[in-house]
């Protein structure tokens, strides 16, 4: 029998304030797809950022290490030899970065 596992969708966007979604009670910005995901899943309202720049902060998130441990302080790249949580996922079962240019258009 196939084991039921949850689908996990992690959305990490650059410079996207948490209040800029309809599900965050913003009446001006329309985000129906994000609102639907939030209503059917788990939405976190608080977060911790390991570093005030996006690159080092993302590296910390992906590895569970502080940017200072990784030697990433500005625009440096994360070494391909550093394991991330994505490495522990089953190969071929993860989609990442492929839909960056697609969006939902509401109205005309």
The pLDDT tens digits of the residues spanning 77-96 come to 888 889 888 777 765 566 55
Mean local confidence (pLDDT), 3-16: 75
Q: Judge whether residue 68 has pLDDT over 90.
A: yes
Between 68 and 87, whose confidence is greater? 68
62 within 8 A of 78, measured Cβ to Cβ: yes
Mean local confidence (pLDDT), 31-56: 88
Between 5 and 1, whose confidence is greater? 5
- How far from 83 is each of 9, 23, 91, CA to CA, in Å? 20, 34, 14
Between 16 and 55, whose confidence is greater? 55
């Amino acid at each position: 029998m196939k084991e039921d596992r949850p689908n996990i969708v992690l959305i990490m966007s650059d410079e996207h304030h948490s209040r800029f979604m309809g599900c965050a009670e913003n009446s001006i910005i329309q985000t129906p797809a994000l609102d639907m995901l939030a209503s059917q899943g788990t939405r976190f309202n608080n977060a911790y950022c390991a570093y005030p720049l996006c690159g080092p902060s993302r590296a910390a998130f992906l590895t569970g290490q502080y940017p200072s441990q990784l030697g990433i302080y500005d625009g440096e790249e994360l070494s391909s030899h550093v394991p991330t949580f994505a490495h522990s996922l089953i190969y071929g079962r993860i989609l990442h970065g492929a839909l960056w240019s697609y969006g939902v258009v509401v109205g005309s």
